[in-house]
Amino acid sequence: MKKVEAIIRPEAFQTLRQNLDHLGVKGLTVSEVAGCGQQKGQEGIFRGSRFEVKLYPKVKVEMVAEDHELESIIDVIMDSCATNEVGDGKIFVSTIEEVFRIRTGETGKAALI
């Protein structure tokens, strides 16, 4: 099982959510975060001291899904969240070893679906 963690622009979330829903991805967890990425050329020296580098509000969307769903989830995130302007965000993929549905005690694939 994989965890897909996408850090996106807050304004991209509704579109992403609808597109994930059409793909059949129903389970996700959202949190409000702040962040910064590469900002080459956006920093500068002002009277000898560096500009404060701002933190931008972002939304973190976490989806745990089966391995074979990974590629289509990544595609949907790209399609939904890329604007071609810097700051569109990042996707991080990692392994989840076990999942449990608390209501039933189910594990593995049965706990996800």
Ligand X SMILES: Nc1ncnc2c1ncn2[C@@H]1O[C@H](COP(=O)(O)OP(=O)(O)OP(=O)(O)O)[C@@H](O)[C@H]1O
Residues that bind Mg ion (CB under 5 A): 37, 86-87
Pick out residues in 9-28 that bind a copy of itself (CB under 8 A).
17, 21, 26-28
Q: Tokens for 17? A: 């959510």
Cα–Cα distance measured from residue 4 to residue 70, given in angstroms and rounded to the nearest whole number: 8
Using CB under 8 A as the binding rule, whether residue 54 contacts a copy of itself is answered as no
Name residue 50's beta-bridge partners.
45
Using CB under 6 A as the binding rule, whether residue 28 contacts ligand X is answered as yes
Using CB under 8 A as the binding rule, whether residue 32 contacts a copy of itself is answered as yes
Q: 3-state class of 55 per DSSP?
A: coil
Q: Tokens for 89? A: 């965000």
Sorted by sequence, the CB contacts under 8 Å of residue 84 that are 6+ apart come out as none
Residue 86: in which H helix or E strand, if any? none
Binding site for a copy of itself (CB under 8 A): 2-3, 6-8, 17, 21, 26-39, 50, 53, 55, 58, 60, 64, 74, 77-78, 81-103, 105, 111, 113
Residues that bind ligand X (CB under 6 A): 7, 27-29, 33, 35-38, 56, 58, 62-64, 86-90, 101, 103, 112
